[in-house]
Amino acid sequence: MRIVVVGISGAGKTTMANEIASKLALPLSELDALYWRAGWQRDLDDFSRRVEGAISAETWVIDGNYNVVRRSIWMRATHLVWLDYGLAVVMYRVILRSIIRNIRQEKLWDGNKDTWRLWFRADHPIRRAWRNWGLLRREIDEMLRSSEYAHLVVLRLRRPREASNAIDKLMDLSKQR
């Protein structure tokens, strides 16, 4: 199985992807970890190479929504889990996560930390979630209607309580292979 987990910032993609990878014993790649370099720097060419390396494997779980690599991931994926939660759920989660990361001074990708100062940047997850929630929903919905992605088995979750059932379904599907 090659499973991609998508949704807006704060929806719970990484948590869901970790759970799926653990229960199905699949390798996991987090797109944020492949994208961000120290000092919040990024290199799109390097990112694309890293993603191509990750998706060249026979099985995997990947979480993330980066436009620059979305098509190649989706074309190679067999399953897509879409965390399509309401705006209130997403905003609660992304704000709480950001507060906790700041208080605990958690190290993120390549040693980066979320700081209160970063909250003012347009690309901070809270601002990005608020600004792009509806846009990303429409974008993903439109893409999934395309015949280009008809091969994907799609699990669209609209409420967090549906997550455990989705993992059970993926486990059942993996046994059928």
Q: Which CATH number do you get for residue 7?
A: 3.40.50.300
The first and second tokens of residue 7, run together, are: 């949704």
Q: Which domain holds residue 151?
A: 2-175
Residue 38 Cα to chain centre, angstroms: 20
Number of separate domains in the chain: 1
Q: How many CA atoms lie within 13 A of 61 on its CB side?
A: 21
DSSP string, the chain: -EEEEEESTTSSHHHHHHHHHHHHT--EEEHHHHHEEGGGEE-HHHHHHHHHHHHTSSSEEEE---HHHHHHHHHH-SEEEEE---HHHHHHHHHHHHHHHHHHT-B-GGG-B--GGGGGSTTSHHHHHHHHHHHHHHHHHHHHHSGGGTT-EEEEESSGGGHHHHHHHHHHHHHT-
Verdict on whether the full-model pTM lies above 0.85: yes
CA pair distance 2, 42, nearest whole angstrom: 26
Contacts of 116 (CB under 8 A, 6+ apart): 102
- From first to last of the 177 residues of the chain, give the pLDDT tens digit: 999 999 999 999 999 999 999 999 999 999 999 999 999 999 999 999 999 999 999 999 999 999 999 999 999 999 999 999 999 999 999 999 999 999 999 999 999 999 999 999 998 999 999 999 999 999 999 999 999 999 999 999 999 999 989 999 999 888 876
For residues 157 and 167, what is the distance between their CA atoms, to the nearest angstrom? 11
Q: What is the pLDDT of residue 142?
A: 96
pLDDT value, residue 173? 86
Only one residue has tokens 């890293």, namely 50
Q: What is the pLDDT of residue 97?
A: 95
Give the per-residue pLDDT at 177. 66
- Distance between first and last Cα of the chain: 9
User: What pLDDT is stored for residue 9 in this prediction?
Assistant: 92
Q: Rounded to an integer, what distance in angstroms lies between the CA atom of residue 26 and that of residue 45? A: 26
